[in-house]
Structure 1
Amino acid sequence: MNICVTLPDWVDAVARPGTVCATDEEKMAIAVALARENMSRGGGPFGAVVFHRPSGRLVSGGVNLVLQSGLSSFHAEITTLSAAQTRLGRYDLSADGGHELVTSSEPCAMCLGAVLWSGVKRVVCGACCDAARAIGFDEGPVFPESWAYLRRAGIEVVEGVLCEEAEAVLKRYKEQGGVVYNA
């Protein structure tokens, strides 16, 4: 049996590897664009990107593939971190000056663990967990202590970047009758 993640071809067109972004807002705009495009193609309303911190260079993008794959763990953060690790040829994203994850919505409990284990040193979030919960998603046991744990581990957390734009994607997903696959 093989378990394989194949990102849609259009992901690299929206999140072009090598693109340099100087601000969190520029980076988040790409994550939100991925979420919006994935939703428009029948996928979940979540997108994420990994950037090399020193250069601001985009390493990889990813989207939620739960509906397309039928696999509950294929969240945007997981596919993005996996794509970055594959592209760089290593599981530790703390190397070479470090990397950061920019995600259209605060990570769920599973993805928080993946953040810690991936080696990224910074996480930038768009919509808050409450916005995902408001449309029916169960984000699992995510508590203030969860974020404090990441910070104690040396991971910088930035919240609320382009929050309105990111939340608009979630609201549109609900309005369109999008499947809430973990309720």
Structure 2
Amino acid sequence: MSDQTKRSIMNVELPSWIAEWKAPEPHAGHEERMKAVIDLVRLNIRHRTGGPFASIIVNDDTGAVAGVGLNLVTSLNLSILHAEMVAIMMAEEAAGTWDLGATGRYTIYASAEPCAMCMGAIPWSGLRTLVIGARDEDIRAIGFDEGVKADNWIDGYAQRNIHVIRDVCRTESAAALKEYAASGGHIYNG
């Protein structure tokens, strides 16, 4: 095994421009938090540091942001660095556990409906609520392939005690997707 294959690739850092972003207040509601997520999407587009997706994880007890995620696939050349995956990694690292549910109740806010990969990670991470902006069809409309997802995925989440809230700021989130496509952003798996 070469030194290249032995070295760690999991030291993921958010872009320095993250300091420009204003996190939602702890008492914020779903809409205000989603607007903050969409602000992350637009910053990611403006700085050309990844795809048009962002996510935050909020501790339901304190209202504090426990993890921030951006789509960093194209800037870091790692296909797994979707916004939800990055937010989960950041929140789990901060909590010191792979099971966020063991430390409290957490909600993940995703600017758009998760792809097949991220849909699998959400239940395994211990998250209990998923709040979504844009829908799958909004993402596919600009050319992204979201993978094979069960038609009844929301029922599957409900069976795992995960509550799904859709269409929070959907129009704004779908508009950000279109802005990315219009800016010539790379549709990397379409």
Q: TM-score, with normalisation over the residues of structure 1?
A: 0.94
Aligned identity (percent) is: 37
> Is contact 2:95-2:103 (8 Å) kept?
no
Which residues of 2 match residues 1-183 of structure 1 at below 5 A?
A: 1-4=7-10, 5-11=12-18, 13-14=20-21, 16=23, 19-42=25-48, 43-183=50-190
Larger radius of gyration: 2
CA deviations on 1:1-42 (whole Å, 9 max, x unpaired) are 2212211133354254x8414310011011111111111111
> Is contact 2:69-2:86 (8 Å) kept?
yes
- Shift, 1:131, TM fit: 0.5
How many residue pairs get aligned? The number is 182
Distance (Å, rounded) in 2 between the aligned partners of 1:120 and 1:71: 23
Identify unmatched segments of 5+ residues in structure 1: none
Q: TM-score, with normalisation over the residues of structure 2?
A: 0.91
2:100 aligned counterpart, secondary structure: coil
Moved more, 5-14 or 48-57: 5-14
* Counterpart residue identity of residue 58, structure 1: V
> Is contact 1:49-1:103 (8 Å) kept?
yes
Aligned CA RMSD, in angstroms, stands at 1.5
> Is contact 1:12-1:61 (8 Å) kept?
no
